[in-house]
Structure 1
């Protein structure tokens, strides 16, 4: 599409970012599952899944055949297969694919659930395309098997990161209280910095909690977790 002039480049670029990317990902994943199931029940679902896997393997073969120089050089799949064994590496990848419906559920919540918090409580309205996008196709030498799985991680990481950002707002709004177990606080502070940056001690009081909320409640602008670098500013 990028070779079709300005219009082609515009469409191609749009397909790499939400919300158009959501349609592209859906068309290559769960759309066929639903259609297959509606047409032929479980056999239709299984058939669509087998067809998807077959077409993906065919695409990998064609893409790698078109980039012979790249596949003869260093590759992720070659190194990991040599290091851990071919079947362990590939089985591990397919096991991660089982999590795909989980990330679909997270994405649906971002699109259809979180907006209610924006409307009701003034939570920040994020630009999803800044989080949900793919760009690893631009990396030199990443082709075939490595590219298709890196695309999966590219999309999945964005979905996770946006979900975590939204959840940080939720936690600091409704539950700004440190966990009783220090080990959990230590493990979670990377994803929830407010644990160390504003949440009330587990031995505190409800008066402390209300005071913390009052001190951190923005007088204007949107709500966000306490330590957000653009707190009260990021909107749109």
Structure 2
């Protein structure tokens, strides 16, 4: 058997084995259900995501370089390609098996069927698979949340966050969500939490180090959804450094010593109660 095929089949097997474990664990009584819940939120979810996404790519690259005996990057690239094909095959195989195991939901209303009618089957499937390119990007963002942001919480007292409140998945509990719809909804579930936590961290960073509006009014308008302090405390682009210093003196240190962004809930509430009466 060719090394390429070996890497692909091992990856396929590892992916399906991992999926089988996740299906079996919640059926192992109360301890299994507790473990299953823990696997659905950080930090254990990060290990699950790594197993299904980046770990096969890394292992495939290493195995490819070793099995193919290439002194150039070609072996690693071929191993990476084999691993990715194994991942794709695993998703497709699991999709079929999961839909066969849930015939009633398979025949009921489906996201995939509705969108296929709207934009066409080929275009819909091509588009959703195209988004898979972003998976390693979100994984790197999550790694950055582990290694880059935490030191800022004790160096400059930016607020800490409970990652599990952001990075978790729950859409597998939604009734009737199976197969194709489920796997892509879980992807979005995880991705949205990772990205939202990253945006929250960046709100603290931006307001702490550079509370100055952009010169472009359109950019301010576009960005203030994710950075509300643009309209809630940052100085105007035509102001001066005296204004910036006044804002920093006014806003920091924040409540409880945490230097959160200006619109952070901690600045607006005291032990969960509004600071300003409605």
- 2:152 is matched with which residue? 117
Q: 1:186 aligns with which of 221, 229, 244?
A: 221
User: Which consecutive unaligned segments of at least 5 residues does structure 1 have?
Assistant: none
- 1:32 is matched with which residue? 56
Say whether 1:51 aligns with 2:75: no
Q: 1:16 aligns with which of 35, 40, 51?
A: 40
Distance 1:187 1:125 in 2: 27
Q: Deviations over 1:181-236 (max 9, x none)?
A: 111111111000000100001111100000000000026421110011123979xx
Q: TM-score, normalised by structure 2?
A: 0.82
Say whether 1:158 aligns with 2:193: yes
Say whether 1:73 aligns with 2:108: yes
Distance 1:5 1:68 in 2: 25
RCO greater where, 1 or 2, for CA within 8 Å and sep 6 or more?
Answer: 1
Q: Is the 8 A contact 1:17 1:134 kept in 2?
A: yes
Q: Deviations over 1:135-154 (max 9, x none)?
A: 00010100000000000000
Say whether 1:3 aligns with 2:39: no
- 1:210 is matched with which residue? 245
User: Which consecutive unaligned segments of at least 5 residues does structure 2 have?
Assistant: 1-24, 65-75, 272-278
More deviation, 198-207/34-43: 34-43
Say whether 1:228 aligns with 2:275: no
- Greater Rg by CA: 2
| Higher helix content, 1 or 2 | 2
Q: Is the 8 A contact 2:53 2:135 kept in 1?
A: no
Q: 2:169 aligns with which of 134, 140, 155?
A: 134
CA deviation after TM superposition for structure 1 residue 59, in Å: 0.6
Distance 1:129 1:144 in 2: 25
More deviation, 132-141/217-226: 217-226
